[in-house]
């Protein structure tokens, strides 16, 4: 199952990395505890809309861009889950002949 909060954390952590910022730096600008931001980035906590707005401001990234990036990541996850899985083919011997069969 795809969790929105996990993909949100990935997007926020990615942006922070692009900017070369530490959690401490983002924490100071956003006025959110370092530990809480870390939990959000790891997908362990949900971010309220107010908190997300503060993080977006600290990361100099519009909320709409964050949400779009998260939606794109979720869509990729959903497509991967929905894609049919190939049936593995195994070879077995039958009276000296090799017969391929779908498992």
pLDDT (average), residues 51-69: 97
Residue 10 maps to a domain: yes
Residue 100 within any structural domain of the chain: no
Q: Is residue 98 part of a domain?
A: no
38 lies in a domain? yes
pLDDT of residue 41: 97
Q: How far is 54 from 50, CA to CA, in rounded Å?
A: 6
Q: What per-residue confidence (pLDDT) applies to 81?
A: 82
Assess contact for 46 and 9: CB atoms under 8 A. no
Residue-number span of the structural domain to which 40 is assigned: 4-89
Per-residue pLDDT of 68-86, as tens digits, reads 999 999 999 888 887 666 6
**In total, how many domains does the chain have?**
1
- Kindly state whether residue 99 falls inside one of the protein's structural domains: no
| pTM for the full predicted model | 0.77
Cα dihedral 60, 51, 68, 85 sign: positive
CATH classification at residue 13 = 1.10.260.40
Residue 13 lies in a domain: yes
Q: Could you report the per-residue pLDDT of 32-46, keeping only the tens digit for each?
A: 999 999 999 999 999
């Amino acid at each position: 199952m795809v969790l929105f909060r996990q993909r949100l954390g990935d997007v926020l952590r990615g942006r922070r990395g692009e900017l070369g910022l530490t959690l401490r730096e983002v924490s100071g600008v956003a006025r959110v505890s370092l530990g809480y931001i870390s939990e959000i980035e790891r997908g362990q906590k949900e971010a309220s809309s107010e908190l997300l707005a503060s993080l977006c401001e600290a990361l100099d990234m519009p909320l709409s861009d964050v949400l779009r990036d998260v939606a794109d990541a979720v869509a990729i996850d959903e497509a991967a889950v929905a894609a049919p899985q190939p049936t593995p083919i195994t070879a077995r011997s039958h009276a000296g002949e090799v017969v391929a069969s779908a498992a």
